[in-house]
C-alpha cells in the first residue's frame, strides 16, 4: 500500500499526540524526521517538522478525525457561494504580466513572489474569490431558531 503525508507537526511531542489519536481509531501511522526535528528546532517546519504518514486508504478518515478533535484547523476548501469542493487556484487574467515580473524579481532577490496575483475559481458556479471557506456546519445552517426578545 502507498503512504501519504497527513500533516507536518512543529515538534515530536505534537506528532506523538496525533499518532496516539490515530492509533485509537485503528489508523496506522509512521513518523518521519522525529529525531531531526530536535536538532533543527527553530528552522522552518518544512525542514524541521515531524511528518506523519498514513496509508492512502486511511487519509480521509484521518483528516476527519483531526478536524473533529480540533487537532488541526478546519480545512478551507469550499466555494463561499455554492459550498462546492470543486475549486482551483489560478492566475488572475489581468495580472499575468505583473506575476511574470514578480517571479523575475523574486528570483533575483531570492524572495518569494507572493500570492497577490492568484485567485480561486469555483468549477461549479464560476465564482472568483480570494480565499475558500470551511463547509457550513449543520448547526449553523438551522434558521428556525426562535427569537428570545
Q: What is the DSSP letter of 88?
A: E
Q: What is the pLDDT of residues 123-132, one digit of tens each?
A: 888 888 877 7
Report pLDDT for 113.
63
Q: How confident is the model at residue 14 (pLDDT cuts 50, 70, 90)?
A: confident
Name the pTM for this structure: 0.51
Rounded percentage of the chain residues whose pLDDT exceeds 70: 70
Residue 23 dihedral angles phi and psi, to the nearest 5°: -65, -35
Lowest mean pLDDT segment, chosen from 28-32, 43-47, 84-88, 105-109: 43-47
Task: Please name the residues in contact with 2: beta carbons below 8 A apart, sequence gap of 6 or more.
Answer: 55, 56
Cβ neighbours, 10 Å, residue 115: 10
Q: How confident is the model at residue 42 (pLDDT cuts 50, 70, 90)?
A: low
Q: Are 91 and 99 in contact (CB under 8 A)?
A: yes
Higher pLDDT, 61 or 81: 61
Cβ neighbours, 10 Å, residue 93: 8
Alpha helix stretches (DSSP H) within 25-116: 34-39, 45-48, 59-68, 96-109
Check whether 24 has a pLDDT greater than 90: yes
Report strand pairing: 50-55 vs 3-9: antiparallel
CA nearest neighbour of 33 among 19, 48, 20, 44 = 48
Report pLDDT for 137.
47
Amino acid at each position: 500500500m502507498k503512504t501519504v503525508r497527513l500533516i507536518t507537526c512543529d515538534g515530536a511531542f505534537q506528532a506523538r499526540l496525533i499518532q496516539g489519536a490515530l492509533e485509537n481509531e485503528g489508523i496506522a501511522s509512521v513518523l518521519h524526521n522525529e529525531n531531526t526535528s530536535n536538532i533543527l528546532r527553530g528552522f522552518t517546519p518544512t525542514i524541521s517538522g515531524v511528518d506523519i504518514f498514513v496509508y492512502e486508504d486511511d487519509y480521509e478518515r484521518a483528516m476527519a478525525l483531526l478536524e473533529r478533535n480540533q487537532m488541526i484547523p478546519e480545512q478551507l476548501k469550499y466555494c463561499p457561494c455554492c459550498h462546492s469542493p470543486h475549486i482551483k487556484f489560478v492566475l488572475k487574467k489581468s495580472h499575468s504580466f505583473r506575476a511574470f515580473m514578480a517571479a523575475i524579481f523574486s528570483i533575483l532577490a531570492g524572495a518569494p513572489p507572493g500570492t497577490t496575483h492568484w485567485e480561486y475559481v469555483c468549477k461549479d458556479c464560476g465564482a472568483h474569490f480570494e480565499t475558500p471557506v470551511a463547509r457550513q456546519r449543520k448547526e449553523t445552517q438551522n434558521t428556525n431558531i426562535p427569537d428570545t426578545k
